Amino acid sequence: MRTYRRKLPNRRGGYTQAASVGGTKLYLRTGEYEDGTLGEIFLDIHKEGAAFRAVLNCFAIAVSMGLQHGVPLEEFCDAFLFTRFEPNGMVQGSDTVKFSTSIIDFVFRELAISYLGRFELAQVEPEQLMQLAGGLKPESHAPGLANANGGMTPLFPEAANEAPAPEPAPLPIQVHAHAGAAKPGTSAYKAAREKGYTGDPCPECGHLTLVRNGACLKCQTCGATTGCS
């Protein structure tokens, strides 16, 4: 333990861990020296009484002062781990700690795992985290059972030997022209255009006697319109 205080740099590293202990939201913030060792902690409780928040803030200041005066983090962890009081129980938001006996127990479990490598205090091992982070392999395999040679024995060998069925060829799209339709360039179309008609066939009678009627077309033969009343 030092007789002087080792101050932290003005711009310092660290991390913020948000978690919920027994339904109580907690924020743990750390400050580090240039060499990565822990130098201070901050504790913030969401929606708790003023007295409880003040006690936690004073506790965090006391721990920070001890760290800056040379008290090893191991001493704090050994003193406050497994401290039991409410809120306690299930922990949400942490990758490694899933249950704690109190907020203080969670804080020093998190610090011991992150800065001391004491993974025996975690409920989730680093290997399990790596497996979860790895996810599924990009290639997909047919369902089967592992055999003695390290390969996979298909669950349905007769299906594995069958050749895939060819995809059916798409049906050709056939377009049928209207019986009374006149194509541009034909004699009927030209004759209708010369008489003042549009040249389009009437959807009701098929005659080429459509004229403009506002925004629609009207047939001079049967009186039908193309949508207007």
Condensed to tens digits (0 to 9), the pLDDT of residues 187-225 reads 777 777 777 788 888 888 878 888 877 777 888 888 888
Condensed to tens digits (0 to 9), the pLDDT of residues 149-161 reads 545 555 455 544 5
- Taking the domains of the chain in order of start, what are their residue ranges? 16-132, 191-226
Full strand arrangement of the beta sheet holding 99-100: 38-45, 24-32, 16-21, 89-92, 99-100
Which class for 54: exposed (0-12), middle (13-18), buried (19 or more C-beta within 10 A)? exposed
Whether the model pTM is above 0.85: no
pLDDT bin (cut points 50, 70, 90) of residue 168 is low
